[in-house]
Amino acid sequence: MSEEIQRMIANQIEASLSGRNKYIILAHPSMDHIKKNLMELDPLSYTEVKVDWREFESGMPNIFIEEVHKLLPAHVLLLLNMRRKEILLDQLSLLYAIPRYGCRSLTVLLPFFPTGTMERVDREGEVATASTLSRMISAVPMTPGGPARFLIFDIHALQIRFYFQDSILPVLLSAMPLLLNLLKTRFSSEEVAVAFPDEGAKKRFGGFFEKEGYPVLFCSKVREGDKRVVRVAEGDPKGKHVFIVDDLCNTGLDEETYAALQRESARFGDLLMLDCQEGYGEGLLVKKVLAALKTFVHESAIQRQIPKLFMKVDDDSFVAWSLLCPKIASVHAPFGFLYMGMPDMVNRTDWWFNNTESPNYDPWENWPYNFYPFHMAGGPGYLLGMDLAAAIYGSFMEPPISWNEDKAIGIGVFRAKKRGLPVRHVYLHMDDGETDTLPFSGNWSTYPFYSQHQLSAKSISCLFELEMKLDVAGIALKTCWLSAPCLDERNDVGGGTVLACRSELEKRGANKVSVFVTHGVFPQGSWQKFEGAGFDKIFITDSIPETCQIFEERKSAQIFEVIKLAPALHTYLQGQVNSDARQAWRK
């Protein structure tokens, strides 16, 4: 008898004799936070089986389940995240495979149903992708213990439960008990009311709070003249701490804005700009640019609208967008490994870099060679393609590295080229401010630079006004500027209903206004619009991994607090395998 068969038999005997029913957890890497929370809650009830999420060179999934014998005959809990189509096939492949390994039962946590807002066809030609995903999920094979259970928290449209076929059991859970627990434990001393942004949300969730004695309000959009405004339709918020409650806050781009950005991207090629203050000593500016590259690379992977280029420029430079954007458009694609700017070649032995009193002092051990590698000057600005930016940030900025940011990026590019990456240089006519010529004062049509460094604030303002004087240049400037948003000043789109509700509740005398949403989707850095909007707290659950990562990396986002789904999930799961827990869960 082979060793593998012996392990499988021993595992079955152990499972049948065990007085405690365990779950075997398998999770997509993006769901590790929920897996970890469950195992910390009750280590005796959950055992992890690891999955190796590999790919073939073609990019297709090559998945391997380690210790697969543990699945027979276990209760299996599978944690999935289907919000991004790039990882959908990998997870469906694993989902379909697990029942064939003989698990006793299969429970799948899909906390956020990503196509829930596209559940119907309002006009011919639309495709209801909620139905599509439901069909794909319903194809999972049966287990020996019956159909797989799919746990979904606060699905956006309740009718989607009928899109699933009879081969699976959709279980619709709610995060509202988590909010009730929050109100009882942390806000028991305050006079609390609950407000819903529309009557539908009140009908769906209001019962949770009415039976606990909390006043319930709801808002409604009404037409006043040619505008639709939000008004409190029922209830009185005066003197209360009001919690705005909903299942989903999706602050992505509206379709009109998205279409406009797509047109601009096709014409110019979008870029993200980092505007830096000079004088960062001891490599601090290098760290700032690396942090910006990290944000650029990370958010480009999860955003709906992806910039193609990253630009760093000093804050005392004037960028002629109406000239630079058409120049970018004239460069042949692909942009991935592009390195654009004004060439610079500097002698490493210059006083400027070796004297401790110099603002550009760079200890010799940072780069112990006579010359810095060829690089683009940092003052007037340089541009990096997304693939090159990702490579530099991920692999080529290890010590030794210069304290001077443009030299450090040049070292990263130099290392990338040595590794064989297809770096492509494009030289731009810029001014680094080292000439003795007077500030430009001619006609805009003869302005010679794409960017000009070391200018006074007055000179920058004058050049901007000069560029705006011509109608054609003015139109181009506005369009280009939208295509080149500053890294910390993204386009402000979405989230209007929640903000309008807060404003109306405040006008009606609410003492404080907070928010609780089960699913928070914040692409384009759109969470920032809520920070200074007057909310006391904004609570979101950890249902969406990308959102959790945003707030884990930005500890400064003080008004946001992530609530863990694991306690509610644990209570439900134990209710399925333990009769005492089942009675407690029903109560």
Cβ atoms of 570 and 584 closer than 8 Å: no
- Sign of the Cα torsion 256, 260, 261, 266 reads positive
Residue bearing tokens 């690379």: 297
Q: Once rounded to an integer, what is the mean pLDDT over residues 282-300? A: 75
Cβ atoms of 91 and 53 closer than 8 Å: no
pLDDT above 80 for 4? no
CA distances from 114 to 217, 422, 515, 535 (A): 28, 37, 21, 27
pLDDT at 304: 43
- % of the chain exceeding 90 in pLDDT: 33
Q: Once rounded to an integer, what is the mean pLDDT over residues 401-409? A: 90
Backbone angles phi, psi at 362, to 5 degrees: -135, 100
Helix (H), strand (E) at residue 96: helix 88-97
Going through 493-571 in order, the beta strands assigned E by DSSP cover: 512-521, 538-541, 560-563
In the numeric block, which tokens belong to residue 445?
């049509």
Q: Report helix, strand or coil for 387.
A: helix
pLDDT at 473: 47
Least confident of 30-34, 454-458, 566-570: 454-458
pLDDT at 18: 47
Helix (H), strand (E) at residue 465: helix 457-469
pLDDT in tens, 74-94: 899 999 998 888 889 999 999
**Overall residue count recorded for the chain in this entry:** 587
- What is Dmax (Cα atoms) for the chain? 90
C-alpha atoms less than 13 angstroms from C-alpha of 519 in its C-beta half-sphere:
25
Least confident of 138-142, 259-263, 328-332, 553-557: 259-263
Torsion angle of C-alpha atoms 172, 175, 181, 184, degrees rounded to 10: -110
pLDDT at 463: 82
Q: Once rounded to an integer, what is the mean pLDDT over residues 363-388? A: 89
Helices 566-577 and 32-41: crossing angle in degrees, nearest 10, is 60
What mean pLDDT is reported for the chain? Answer: 81
pLDDT in tens, 485-528: 665 433 333 456 788 888 889 989 999 999 999 988 876 566 76
C-alpha atoms less than 13 angstroms from C-alpha of 447 in its C-beta half-sphere:
26
Q: Distance between terminal CA atoms of the chain?
A: 49
Give CA–CA dist 129/177, Å, rounded: 29
- Sign of the Cα torsion 569, 207, 502, 223 reads positive
Backbone angles phi, psi at 332, to 5 degrees: -70, 140
pLDDT at 548: 85
pLDDT above 50 for 580? yes
pLDDT above 70 for 6? no
Confidence grade of residue 321 (pLDDT, cut at 50, 70, 90): confident
- Spatial CA neighbour of 35 closest among 80, 67, 72, 73: 80
In the numeric block, which tokens belong to residue 165?
């076929």
Cβ atoms of 394 and 416 closer than 8 Å: no
What the chain holds in terms of domains, given with CATH numbers, is 3-174+568-586 (3.40.50.2020), 177-252+494-563 (3.40.50.2020), 255-483 (no CATH)
Going through 116-215 in order, the beta strands assigned E by DSSP cover: 148-153, 168-173, 192-196
pLDDT in tens, 237-276: 999 999 999 888 876 544 454 555 455 555 555 677 777 7
pLDDT at 476: 58
Backbone angles phi, psi at 125, to 5 degrees: 110, -20
In the numeric block, which tokens belong to residue 554?
């930005």
Contact partners, residue 471, CB within 8 Å, separation at least 6: none
- % of the chain exceeding 70 in pLDDT: 78
| Residue 257 or residue 41, greater confidence | 41
Q: Is the pTM of this model over 0.85?
A: no
Q: Once rounded to an integer, what is the mean pLDDT over residues 131-149? A: 90
Calculate the CA 500 to chain-centre distance: 24
- Spatial CA neighbour of 294 closest among 218, 202, 386, 208: 386
* Angle subtended at Cα 563 by Cα 561 and Cα 565, rounded to the nearest 5 degrees: 160
* Angle subtended at Cα 131 by Cα 129 and Cα 137, rounded to the nearest 5 degrees: 105
Confidence grade of residue 37 (pLDDT, cut at 50, 70, 90): very high
The amino acid at residue 575 is: G
C-alpha atoms less than 13 angstroms from C-alpha of 136 in its C-beta half-sphere:
17
Confidence grade of residue 161 (pLDDT, cut at 50, 70, 90): confident
pLDDT in tens, 94-125: 999 999 998 999 999 999 988 766 766 666 77
Confidence grade of residue 217 (pLDDT, cut at 50, 70, 90): very high
Which range of 255-259, 465-469, 554-558 scores highest in mean pLDDT? It is 465-469
Backbone angles phi, psi at 311, to 5 degrees: -125, 130
The amino acid at residue 185 is: T
pLDDT at 99: 93
CA distances from 207 to 194, 235, 277, 538 (A): 11, 15, 53, 22
CB atoms within 10 A of CB 308: 22
Q: Once rounded to an integer, what is the mean pLDDT over residues 29-46? A: 93
Cβ atoms of 563 and 178 closer than 8 Å: yes
Residue bearing tokens 């400027």: 352
Give CA–CA dist 94/50, Å, rounded: 12
- Spatial CA neighbour of 451 closest among 378, 386, 384: 378
pLDDT at 513: 93
In the numeric block, which tokens belong to residue 240?
């209360």
